[in-house]
Amino acid sequence: MIKKAVIPAAGLGTRFLPATKAQPKEMLPIIDTPTIQFVVQEAVDSGIDDILIVSGKGKRAIEDHFDRNQELESILQEKQDEDAYNAVRHIGDMANIHYIRQKELNGLGDAISYGRQHVGNEAFAVLLGDTIIDSIIPVTQQLIDLYEQYNQSVVAVEEVPQEIVFRYGVIGGKKLTDTLWQVTEMVEKPDVDKSPSNLAFAGRYILTPEIFQALEDTPPGKNNELQLTDAMIRMGEFQSIYAHRIEGKRYDIGNKLDYLKTMVEFGLKRKEFADELMGFLKNIVKS
């Protein structure tokens, strides 16, 4: 049973400057909810209540967000604003959340290595802190179900246009079902004409604890950073790794255009905004 998760959230968010000069990119709101709250909620909805957030300098706002704010709660109670009070209380009660700082920004693999003591000898989930996946069944739960079937590491993938595979880590493998592959190859940001497929990592993983030794034995890769993909390649030499094509839609909050698109789509999902927002968008298109 997977009961622990690691959420890397230490990046500087330079593509969102100046907005991220004094706040973490993971705290950028989708309407009224910070991005990382969606991520934590996915872990909780997947049965995980023990979460380690790997943060960095200037990320204190994440800790403050998931902490209790009794003064604010008291004000909301006095105003009898029950909806806001319940929303704020829910944030503080979501899960047991722990924090550790990544001392240097040395890549995703390095960030995950900080979870070694917290995770111990258990398989665990990894959810990237700037990636939201909207799905009926939480994607982390989808991966957990497959882990319990195969007892091996499982990664989430999605199909992306072939011409942009160079932006992602990509897998190749033996197709087992319409949504499942046994991984035989992993490449970090491959050349378009050399990519083994168009199945790109989607920001969710179930990893066995052997990943920590693999990370320790893996030298720095692209950009002189410790790449998780490289460590998984090493781990794949002595155990199987599976890839599951996600059932859901991934929203990457890592760039401005995708962030704008996400804001619009989530606005259209909200009943209080949907009709007026749709009318607004139609008027823009007409003009």
**What tens digit of pLDDT does each residue of 211-257 get?**
999 999 998 877 778 889 999 999 988 899 999 999 889 998 878 89
Q: Which domain holds residue 274?
A: 256-287
Residue 229 sits in the same domain as residue 278: no
Q: Rounded to whole angstroms, how far apart are CA atoms 112 and 210? A: 12
Model confidence pLDDT, tens digit, residues 74-123: 898 888 888 888 888 889 888 899 999 998 888 899 999 999 999 999 99
Residue 21 sits in the same domain as residue 101: yes
Does residue 208 surpass a pLDDT of 90? yes
Residue 185 sits in the same domain as residue 287: no
Residue-averaged pLDDT of the chain: 91
Residue 50 sits in the same domain as residue 148: yes
Residues shown for the chain: 287
Written as six digits, the tokens of 199 are 């199945």
Residue 77 sits in the same domain as residue 59: yes
Q: Rounded to whole angstroms, how far apart are CA atoms 36 and 26? A: 5
Residue 198 sits in the same domain as residue 285: no
What is the pTM for the complete model shown? 0.92
What per-residue confidence (pLDDT) applies to 140?
97
Q: How many domains does the chain have?
A: 2
Q: Rounded to whole angstroms, how far apart are CA atoms 287 and 280? A: 11
Residue 272 sits in the same domain as residue 221: no
- For the segment 59-72, the average pLDDT, to the nearest whole number, is 90
Domain containing residue 34: CATH number: 3.90.550.10
Residue 157 sits in the same domain as residue 280: no
Listed in sequence order, the residues at least 6 apart from 36 whose beta carbon sits closer than 8 Å to its beta carbon are: 7, 9, 24, 26, 27, 53, 62, 65, 129, 130
Residue 287 sits in the same domain as residue 176: no
Residue 234 sits in the same domain as residue 284: no
Residue 275 sits in the same domain as residue 231: no
Residue 205 sits in the same domain as residue 276: no
For the chain, what percent of residues have pLDDT higher than 70? 100
Cβ(138)–Cβ(18) below 8 Å = no
Q: What are the residue ranges of helices labelled H in 7-81?
A: 35-45, 60-66, 70-78
- For the segment 166-186, the average pLDDT, to the nearest whole number, is 91
What per-residue confidence (pLDDT) applies to 190?
85
